[in-house]
Structure 1
Amino acid sequence: MLLAIDAGNTNIVFALVDTGAGEGAGTIRARWRIATDPRRTADQYAVWLHQLLELEGLERGAVTSVIIGTVVPRALHNLEVLSVKYFHCTPLIAGQGVAAWPIALDVDEPGSVGADRVLNAIAARDRFDADNLVVIDFGTATTFDLVDRKGAYRGGIIAPGINLSLDALVQAAAKLPRIAIEAPSDRSVIGRNTEAQMRIGVFWGYVAMIEGLLERIKAELDGPVSVIGTGGLALLFDKHTNVFDVVEPDLTIHGLALLAKGADAR
């Protein structure tokens, strides 16, 4: 099995992907999430992962290959050591060497595009058919990424993530309480107390941002546009807006698996 590691700014996701040739090929067998901390050592990762593998009835030997995609350069070294020391695999690094990007990055600064965004583009084009694809990823930042029919990454939008916005609001305003990110109890946008007003501003404000930016993106494009939501909060927003054609929470992991498969074939 492939151990696919998606190291983001807030969390690192470890996923076991079936690499067999049978019907289950490409299936995610298990996934685990841990807070991103560049100081966490390979030994600490190993202890944590070993316990989780045991809970799944698996041994370390079940992992036969590793691929790492990261937007946190300081986290990479310890993840590489984890792969070599504990799984006896030289890891593929997304965007480097034999795991170089198989798609064109049609933007002004290709080297600055985050690995997660390219991986989302790879997976989106593999899974969905449309003249234009827009991937909205709800992570530390909320990103919009455009993929054209040829599979090229064409650019997009970076907006503050909803958690980041809420944290900034609470820290800057002494009397505002910390609230959970959830949909308001009804569709009214007139709150009757402080918490309701905050929830409306955060939640419906993000819905309005998503819908408004998508409308502007579509106005610039020719041909049909399919919209894919991913990231932990995509399912929550999908219940309260009709903008998504499909929600795929594991899009980045699927992109890592496809990249690893392509690297093995080279």
Structure 2
Amino acid sequence: MLLAIDAGNTNIVFALVDGDAIKARWRIATDPRRTADEYAVWLHQLLQLEGHDRSVVDAVIVATVVPRALHNLEVLASKYFGVTALVAGRPPVDWGITLDVDEPQNVGADRAVNVIAAHRRHPGDLIVIDFGTATTFDVVDYTGAYKGGIIAPGINLSLDALVGAAAKLPRIAIEAPDSASVIGRTTTSQMLVGIYFGYVSMIEGLVGRMKAEVGRPVKIIATGGLAPLFERHVKLFDSIEPDLTIQGLGIMYDRLKARL
């Protein structure tokens, strides 16, 4: 089976993939100082809990936006699984799509992998929104080419900035409000309205502008750990797919196997 690793700025997701099926997935906080040995102890225990031995892993593929984390993940693959880690976007694992932007070498691995999976699963023009540390909006045309997008601060980053700069404001948990009212009655409810519905308005406004610029019918695909947070109050999403990055890594691995 394939061990697919999505190393983001906040969390690293490990998933056991068998063909099109994701057999198990685990998440750990991103820490570039974490060693291959620490990953191995943690993963070995989780594999056992799911009824798997580490010998079931015969390939490892990594997408990372945290360069400092890559070395220890590569050591994990070679030392504990006996394979050379494949890295998305690095030969022999090419993207297999056109990155039609001015600086293709700077496109985040997670964004390119999301585009690959979204295009495989949905025909036509797409906007892929990934709700993570940052919120990214990526435009994919009907041929599967990545045309560009938007990078915005994630909702938790926005909250951290607000609380960090205003001494009397408390730290609150971000959640979908029960009410659609945007007039808060307490300090905390006013903060929640400002952060949450301000973010909803940003999503709706940016997507509206992007759709107008594309000029053709567009499907909106949401992914990332925070995507379900907006499902109640954002009516734009055609599909919410939390495993899009892992699915994209699986597709890239299958393409590579087919070439070899």
TM-score bin (small chain): over 0.9
Report how many residues are paired: 259
Q: 2:202: which partner in 1?
A: 209
Q: Aligned-pair distance for 1:26?
A: 1.0
Q: 1:13: which partner in 2?
A: 13
Q: 2:111: which partner in 1?
A: 117
Distance 1:32 1:38 in 2: 17
Residues 131-177 of structure 1: per-residue CA shift (max 9 Å, x gap)? x1000000100000000111110000000000111111111111111
Matched, 1:46 2:40: yes
Matched, 1:195 2:188: yes
Runs of at least 4 residues of structure 1 off by over 3 A?
A: none
Distance 1:252 1:185 in 2: 30
Matched, 1:128 2:125: no
Share of identical aligned residues, percent?
68
SS of alignment partner, residue 101 of structure 2: coil
Q: Normalising to structure 1: TM-score of the pair? A: 0.96
Tell me if structure 1 keeps the 8 A contact 2:65–2:109: yes
Which segments of 5 or more consecutive residues in structure 1 lack a partner in the other structure? 19-24
Q: 1:180: which partner in 2?
A: 173
Amino acid at match of 1:114: G
Matched, 1:139 2:132: yes
**Residue 254 of structure 1, aligned match among 240, 247, 250:** 247
Q: Output aligned runs, 1:15-30, within 5 Å.
A: 15-18=15-18, 25-30=19-24
Q: Aligned-pair distance for 1:197?
A: 0.4
Q: Aligned-pair distance for 1:129?
A: 1.1
Amino acid at match of 1:5: I
The alignment's C-alpha RMSD in Å is 0.7
Q: 1:93: which partner in 2?
A: 87
Q: Aligned-pair distance for 1:223?
A: 1.7
Q: Which segment is superposed worse, 230-239 or 120-129? A: 230-239
Q: Aligned-pair distance for 1:241?
A: 1.4
Distance 1:104 1:207 in 2: 31
Amino acid at match of 2:29: A
Q: 1:163: which partner in 2?
A: 156
Q: Output aligned runs, 1:58-73, within 5 Å.
A: 58-73=52-67
Q: Aligned-pair distance for 1:217?
A: 0.5
Q: Output aligned runs, 1:200-239, within 5 Å.
A: 200-239=193-232
Distance 1:184 1:28 in 2: 32
Which segments of 5 or more consecutive residues in structure 2 lack a partner in the other structure? none
Distance 1:51 1:89 in 2: 20
Q: Aligned-pair distance for 1:108?
A: 0.5
Residues 202-221 of structure 1: per-residue CA shift (max 9 Å, x gap)? 11111100000011001111
Distance 1:54 1:168 in 2: 40
SS of alignment partner, residue 98 of structure 1: coil
**Residue 28 of structure 2, aligned match among 20, 24, 34:** 34
SS of alignment partner, residue 202 of structure 2: helix
Amino acid at match of 1:61: S
Distance 1:248 1:239 in 2: 15
Tell me if structure 1 keeps the 8 A contact 2:176–2:232: no
